[in-house]
A and B are shown apart, each in its own frame.
Chain A
Amino acid sequence: MTLRTRLTLILLATLAPLGVAVQIGLYVFVRSALTARLDDALAARAAALAAAVRVEPGGLGLDAEDMPTSDYRPPPRGETGRLACYEIWALPARPREADAAAQPRLLERSASLGSSRLWDPGGAPPADRAWDLELPGDTDGRALARRVTPTEHEAEPGGAPAGAGDGAAALVVVAVSREPVDGPLSALAIGLACATGAFVVVGVVVVRWSLARGLRPVMALARAVSAIDPSRLPAEVEAPPGPRELEPIRDRLNDLLRRVDAALGREKRFTAAAAHELRTPVAELRTLLEVAASRPRTAEEANATIRTATNTVERLDRLVSALLRLTRIESGRQQALLAPVALRPALDAAVARARAAASARGVRFDIDLPAQTAVLADPELLDLALSNLVSNAAEYADAHSMVTINFDRRGDHAGALAVANTATDLVWTDDAPLGEPLRRTDAARTPSGHLGLGIALVRAACRAMGAELDIRFNAGAGAQVTAEITFGAPNGAGRDAPRAG
């Protein structure tokens, strides 16, 4: 469902009940007003009929001259809307309990009433109230009853003596068709229904148009984002300036683009460097074997080729294994299992593995690390980190120099292990293979050439263990390189960029 449709439905779902409530309120108000007006008209009719009630010697009677009989004739056929009728009852002066024979006596009823009744004399007489009822011809009507007590002065001169009608009362019941109320109400209901339909249609059109207009900057932004070529990420989203509300989204998108671009750049550099690391030994191996196979060789030549090829394959194997481990760590497939690990045995094992390479170059190790030192680390990742640090030092330290290794304890299972040596063959460079800033000045002097990969592996292992790797390079102090791993780092994350000293 599109955003426009969703917002349209939400707006309609909110406005429709409101509109219906307003319409119902309007209908009820108009109905009440019209009914009150009809009741007033009924009251006026009742008053006019009551004026004809007279006190006569035999009781109450009607003055025929005062009767507005012309208003109560049966309406022509089909004009039930003008139907009006009445009944005038003489009520007994005393309560019925006291005089069982005393019954209401019908004084007069309109011809328009036909055989119907407005009031059943068997019940209690309604007192000054109005009600809805059905009139002859199945006409909906409204009736009003009014109790009238003719006073003495209303007696005819020379008529019944005063007191003849003591306590006598008349009940005037008048009814008319509800047409003056129901007609306008029906028209109003139809009008409101039509207005509702029109409101919905116009509302949908207006809401969708408004939303389309309002969402135009969002759609422009969406188009700009869709048009981005993943292979060539721009510095920022190229969309026309939009409203202020979209600025945070645009800023976040641009920020995301920058971060994705930086990540892709790192990935690209890593892939290129890793490819170079792998391609070089493969090229060596292939050329070596093809040249050797190009003509018959002596046994001595063949053996020399086999030895060189074997060394190259072993180096290739180490490279591939290291790259695979780095990939596993970076992708989170190799998780760190942190526990207190004795540092000295792990370091001694790493030094023992690098001893042959170090001895060949006259590089010695000076280790200052108490035997009982333990750090919070993953044994396997710790071994990976130490092996690469120590082998790098053995391989890149100046020939016949000393590699110093010491530990600065900073709490339980926490502290910094520093491996320091001089390496005049190294320079600090921005052209960083594998994202690491140290590079050899003369790659030909060392056989393996995977310094960047080694440091990248150490950094990845440290990051997985929540340790920090800090590499310092002081060109002014005999090209002093110090690689320091801080175990139990407070933020538990590796540094993103080493610094030059």
Chain B
Amino acid sequence: MRVLIVEDSTILRDALAQGLREAGYAVDAVADGRQGLIHAQTTDYDVIVLDWMLPEVDGLTALSRLRAKGVAAAVLMLTAKDTLEDRVAGLTTGADDYLVKPFAFKELLARVQALTRRRHGQSSPLIRVGPLRIDTVAKTAHVARAGRPGEVAVGLTPREYALLEVLAMRAGRPTSRAEIEEHLYDDRSQVFSNAVDSAIAAVRGKLAVAGCPPMIHTRRKIGYVLRPPDETNPSRA
């Protein structure tokens, strides 16, 4: 999942970026509204954490322009303005959520997770695809093996988990390599051409070790799709 942070305070921006990266998000961070607008229009972010009082273009104006251009990313307004009028102004302009400074990082993280789920039509933090159960809060994946009690945890790295979550959020629908790449890697990452394929292979291997039947299918020239094992699979696994 990819997040854009638009915050003029260097310390806050860096701390948020670090915290979100450590939580498994691909994070881009910029310092003013103009850069924020450029990034938001060129990358498909899941969530944009947007400060209100920004240099160049203030957060509210930037949000209004983003919505006018059809950018659908969930926006979490982050500001020191705490009056009812301010909250209403932020939400009516197109923000999906509002957080007043100072805030607990855990709360911000929970809101980012909730916004991410909402963006992909998921209401529960638990995503079930066949025997696979993904906990988007704990960032874990478990497999229920047929005929055996209990579940087996899948030992994934943060990036592998992120990949599985991207596919799980779009379960049943193909996701292109470019999309996966965009949601997995931020501007700082050096992405090799076979990075997505390698990650897919790694996840498939770990799912198989956990006893999960093949669920990640390749759609030639389209991408990948995560689907329960009992559904008809027209493509090769």
Binding site for B on A (CB under 8 A): 272, 275-276, 279-280, 282-288, 290-292, 294-295, 308, 312, 440-444, 447, 449
Extra pairs beyond A272-B83, A444-B9 (10, CB < 8 Å): A279-B100, A280-B9, A280-B12, A283-B9, A287-B105, A290-B19, A290-B105, A291-B15, A294-B19, A449-B8
Known interface pairs A283-B101, A287-B15, A443-B54. Does A275 touch B80 (Cβ–Cβ under 8 Å)? Answer: yes
From 43 to 64 in chain B, residues with beta carbon under 8 angstroms from any chain A beta carbon are 53-56
Q: Interface on chain A toward B: helix, strand, loop, or mixed SS? A: helix
B157 at the interface (CB under 8 A from A): no
Note all chain A residues with C-beta closer than 8 A to B11. 284, 288, 308, 312
16 sampled A-B residue pairs with Cβ under 8 A: A275-B80, A276-B81, A279-B100, A283-B9, A283-B12, A283-B103, A284-B15, A286-B102, A287-B19, A290-B19, A292-B15, A294-B22, A442-B8, A442-B31, A444-B9, A444-B32
Cβ-defined partner of B8 (8 Å) among A272, A292, A443? A443
Q: Are B55 and A283 within 8 A (Cβ)?
A: no
Are B15 and A442 in contact (CB-based, < 8 A)?
no
Number of A-B contacts (CB under 8 A): 82
| Least CB separation from B34: chain A residue | A442
Q: Which residues of B contact A295 (CB under 8 A)?
A: 22
Quick one: which of B9, B55, B80 contacts A440, CB cutoff 8 A? B55
Which of A279, A291, A312, A443 is most buried by chain B, counting CB atoms within 10 A of its CB? A291
Cβ-defined contact, A282 with B101, below 8 A: yes
- Chain A to chain B: the 9 pairs with minimum beta-carbon distance, closest first: A444-B31, A283-B101, A291-B19, A283-B102, A279-B80, A290-B105, A276-B80, A284-B11, A442-B55
Residue numbers in A under 8 Å from B169 (CB-CB): none
Query: Do residues B55 and A444 form an inter-chain contact, with CB atoms below 8 A?
Result: yes
Answer yes or no: B148 CB below 8 A from chain A CBs: no
Which residue of B53, B80, B81, B104 is within 8 Å of A290 (Cβ)?
A: B104
Complex contact B56–A280 (CB within 8 A): no
Interface status of B122 (Cβ within 8 A of chain A): no
A444 with B19: CB separation less than 8 A: no
- Contact residues of B between 78 and 100, Cβ < 8 Å to A: 80-83, 100
- A11–B53 alpha-carbon span in the complex (Å): 64
B interface residues with partner A (beta carbon < 8 Å): 8-12, 15-16, 18-19, 22, 31-32, 53-56, 80-83, 100-106, 108
Q: Which residues of B lie under 8 Å from residue A292 when comparing CB positions?
A: 15
Give, as a whole number of angstroms, the nearest-CB distance from B71 to chain A. 22
* A276-B80, A282-B101 known; A287+B31 contact, CB < 8 A: no
B83 nearest CB neighbor, chain A only: A272
Q: Is the CB of B105 within 8 A of A291?
A: yes
- A280 to B16: give the CA distance in the assembly, Å: 13
Task: Give chain B residues whose Cβ lies under 8 Å from the Cβ of A275.
Answer: 80, 82
A447 to B31, CA, bound (A): 12
B39 → chain A closest CB, angstroms:
15
Interchain CB contact under 8 A, B12 and A441: no
CB–CB A286/B80 < 8 A = no
With A287-B16, A442-B32 as given contacts, are A280 and B101 in contact (CB-CB < 8 Å)?
yes
**Residues of B with C-beta under 8 A to A287:** 12, 15-16, 19, 102-103, 105, 108
Residues of A within 8 A of B103 (CB): 283, 286-287
Chain B contacts of A285 at CB under 8 A?
102
Output the least CB separation between A5 and chain B (Å): 45
A residues in contact with B15, CB < 8 Å:
284, 287-288, 291-292
A78, B108: Cα distance in complex, Å = 114
B31 contacts A286, C-beta separation under 8 Å:
no
Q: How far is the CB of A365 from chain B (nearest CB, A)?
A: 27
Q: Which residues of A contact B83 (CB under 8 A)?
A: 272
By beta carbon, the residue of chain B nearest A275 is: B80
List the A side residues contacting B106 at CB < 8 Å. 290
The distance in angstroms between the C-alpha atoms of A285 and B8, with both chains bound, is: 15
A43 vs B105: C-alpha distance when bound (angstroms): 121
Instruction: Name the distance in Å between A281's Cβ and chain B's nearest Cβ.
Output: 8
Are the CB atoms of A276 and B53 closer together than 8 Å?
A: yes
CA of A447 to CA of B18, assembled, Å: 19
CA distance A176 to B100 in the complex (A): 108
**Minimum CB distance partner of B35 in chain A:** A444
**Cβ of B56 and Cβ of A442 under 8 Å apart?**
yes
Q: With CB as the reference atom, state the residue of chain B lying closest to A308.
A: B11
B11, B19, B103, most chain A CB atoms within 10 A? B11
B49 to chain A, nearest CB (A): 11
Closest CB-CB distance, B51 to chain A, in whole Å? 9
Known contacts A279-B80, A284-B15; is-contact A444 B102 (Cβ 8 Å): no
Q: How far is the CA of A280 from the CA of B15 in the complex (A)?
A: 13
Min CB–CB distance A419 → chain B (angstroms): 24
Neighbour of B101 across the interface among A279, A441, A443, CB < 8 A: A279
